[in-house]
Amino acid sequence: MHVLITEPIAQKGLEKLVQEGAKVDVKTDLSRKELLEVIRDYDALIVRSNTKVNEELYQKATRLKVVGRAGNGVDNIDMDGATNRGIIVVNTPESNVVSAAELTIGLLIASCRNIPQLHTRLKGKVWDRSGLKGMELQGKTVGIVGLGRIGSLVATRLKSFGMKIVAYDPYVNETRFKNLGVERREKLEDLMAEADILTIHTPKTKETYGMIGKEQFKGAKKGIRVINCARAGLINEEALIEAIKEKIVASVGIDVPDGEPQATSPLLELDNVVVTPHAGADTVEAQDNVGVTIAQEVAAALRGEMAPNSVNLPTLQAQELSSVKIYLKLGETLGKIYYQLEKEAVEKVEIIYRGEVAELETSMISLAILKGLFEPVLKERVNYVNASLIAKNRGVVVTESKESTVDNYLTLVTVKIISKNKTFSISGTIFGKAEVRIVEINGYEFDVHPAPYMLIGENIDKPGVIGQMGTLLGVGKVNIATMQVGRKISDKRAMMVLTADSEVSQETLEFLGGIEGILRVHFVKL
Ligand SMILES: NC(=O)c1ccc[n+]([C@@H]2O[C@H](COP(=O)([O-])OP(=O)(O)OC[C@H]3O[C@@H](n4cnc5c(N)ncnc54)[C@H](O)[C@@H]3O)[C@@H](O)[C@H]2O)c1
Ligand SMILES: O=C(O)CC[C@@H](O)C(=O)O
């Protein structure tokens, strides 16, 4: 696995990547043109916030399987482009949040107490505090926009200063507000009117871009202080500068001025503005965390394992991931069999989770089933990222249902694959902690331990058929590992599932198909 890194990451991260077996090139001074030329040689790309990972780059990146964002925000990465191509995007959402929250508090205090201005005077050998009286935090109200990871860390820290905390975040539930001891404001305008200090911690999205602008400053409390340690563009800079000039805004602390990574923002010219060059995550601790985490994530994704922080996959907590993992193997197995037995286009996939599995977050298991289903027939890359998009693009309707109980099993996954003329059904379970078993195909019952090479056939349920199968497989030098027969006695039909030690040649399959009483027989590779 060949990994390109275009922006600095911690030495510990580089070492981790090498330990994981990657060949790593760190090229932090490539021009855009050079990047577009070399990207075709790489399986993975690791970036921070400056490298634009977009359509232009994807078109050249023919080997690219993983994009690693060494940090949190992914607004420099075209997610749809990645998803369409089955490229996994991973990030490190938790690794730098404490550092970002602490810089927020730093900027907030620095701007409320004019620390940089006083510092500059004194460094210039001028002992003068005049005109730079600060504001105490105790008893004041801070308005937080976006009560996610960083917003809530900021809230808990500011509480210890004796501040009242109010927040605007329509996507956070009441319990979280309550647990954090934060008062909800339903409207942004109400928060603006009340806050002595405003701090924003939303991601940059279509909805949040420019969400604090002229209108919002018009209704703001006079003398409000404004902090942005999240993303440039969330606060409209022109409107902010106007509000500073009109003395609506008393001071500003900004880590993400417009124009980054160039120092071009007009805010830099104003005295009551404290700025840092996107340094929120720039601590030894955060960078070590980010570096090691992104190395692990990228290596896991390249090996085809589940990376817990895949941005374009359903996210699972580490504990959820460990309970779901074995079902991913079961799901892929169940999905993979259909197109190796049937040649009919799929119209609908019904997935039914029963028993213990119904308690889990099953979205990833459904993706595993779809990945398994399409893999044998599609030349394009199918993976967890694009499996559901492929289903949608092919007009396959996918439904999921759950039942808390099931007869005979503790846990059962059934996949019904509906085509124009029939419904194919397959079910599987987990025995013990991690044993995948196929227990039903088209109403025939089994207890099959799936293996890489299998033969699945249907026959008339009469003496001699199975014996002849064994003989002909012997002639074809295929060693049978296990064999099970499911019967529908009333129909005088049976289905046999054999596992073998090797592949079965087309010639042997044709001989098997010629046995009297054999209705069909297929070689299945898992
Ligand atoms: N300065 C830095 O170096 C630095 C470091 C890390 C993260 N960040 C940035 O900080 C921001 C917050 O990161 P996080 O990890 O806390 O993110 P998060 O996803 O945990 O939280 C974001 C919160 O914003 C809320 N939100 C979304 N749209 C909203 C809207 N229209 N109105 C109000 N709330 C809305 C969400 O509900 C969520 O609770 C991101 O922009 C991230 O990129 C900056
Ligand atoms: O330091 C960086 O790369 C950016 C950090 C931060 O903005 C993030 O989104 O994680």
What distance in angstroms lies between residue 49's CA and the mean position of ligand 2's atoms? 6
Question: Rounded mean pLDDT of the chain?
Answer: 93
Could you tell me how many residues make up the chain? Answer: 526
* Most confident listed range (67-81, 221-235, 500-514): 221-235
What is the pTM (predicted TM-score) of this model?
0.72
For residue 378, the model assigns a pLDDT of 75
Residue pair 22/43 in contact (Cβ under 8 Å)? The answer is no
Cis peptide bond N-terminal to 261, omega within 30: yes
Residue pair 194/186 in contact (Cβ under 8 Å)? The answer is no
- Tens-place pLDDT, residues 444-459: 999 999 999 999 999 9
Task: Give the mean model confidence (pLDDT) for residues 108-123.
Answer: 98
Compute, in degrees rounded to 10, the torsion defined by CA atoms 296, 297, 298, 301: 120
- Tens-place pLDDT, residues 328-370: 999 999 999 999 999 888 999 999 999 999 999 899 899 999 9
Could you write out the DSSP letters of every residue in 261-279? Answer: TSS--GGGG-TTEEE-SS-
Task: Residue 92: name the closest of 309, 280, 283, 281 by CA.
Answer: 309
- Which protein residues touch ligand 2 with a CB less than 6 Å away? 48-49, 71-73, 96, 278, 280-281
What distance in angstroms lies between residue 278's CA and the mean position of ligand 2's atoms? 7
344 is catalytic: no
Annotated catalytic residue, options 185, 201, 231, 437: 231
What structural domains and CATH numbers belong to the chain? Answer: 2-95+285-302 (3.40.50.720), 97-275 (3.40.50.720), 314-450 (3.30.1330.90), 451-526 (3.30.70.260)
**At which residue do the structure tokens 């994009």 appear?**
67
Residue pair 153/98 in contact (Cβ under 8 Å)? The answer is yes
Task: Give the mean model confidence (pLDDT) for residues 56-69.
Answer: 96
Q: What 3-state class would DSSP assign to 282?
A: coil
91, 96, 287, 309: which to mutate for ligand 2, most atoms within 8 A of CB? 96
What distance in angstroms lies between residue 46's CA and the mean position of ligand 2's atoms? 13
Alpha-carbon gap, residue 265 to 501, rounded angstroms: 68
Q: Is the pLDDT of residue 379 over 60?
A: no
Where does the pLDDT of residue 381 fall: very low under 50, low under 70, confident under 90, or very high at 90 and above? low
Alpha-carbon gap, residue 171 to 208, rounded angstroms: 13
5, 6, 48, 75: which to mutate for ligand 2, most atoms within 8 A of CB? 48
Task: Give the mean model confidence (pLDDT) for residues 390-416.
Answer: 92
Q: Ligand 1, closest atom to CA 75?
A: 43
231 is catalytic: yes
Residue pair 486/455 in contact (Cβ under 8 Å)? The answer is no
Q: Whose CA is nearest to atom 10 of ligand 1?
A: 230
478-485 long-range Cβ contacts below 8 angstroms, 24+ apart: 478/502, 478/504, 478/508, 481/451, 482/448, 482/449, 482/451, 484/446, 484/447, 484/448
Q: Whose CA is nearest to atom 1 of ligand 2?
A: 281
Strand 435-441, strand 423-431: pairing: antiparallel
Task: Give the mean model confidence (pLDDT) for residues 181-199.
Answer: 97
What ipTM was predicted for this assembly? 0.99
For residue 327, the model assigns a pLDDT of 94
Residue 13 or 79, more confident: 13
278 is catalytic: yes
Residue spans of alpha helices (H) in 269-317: 284-302
Residue pair 484/496 in contact (Cβ under 8 Å)? The answer is yes
Q: Ligand 2, closest atom to CA 91?
A: 10
Q: Is the pLDDT of residue 242 over 90?
A: yes
For residue 319, the model assigns a pLDDT of 65
What distance in angstroms lies between residue 92's CA and the mean position of ligand 1's atoms? 14
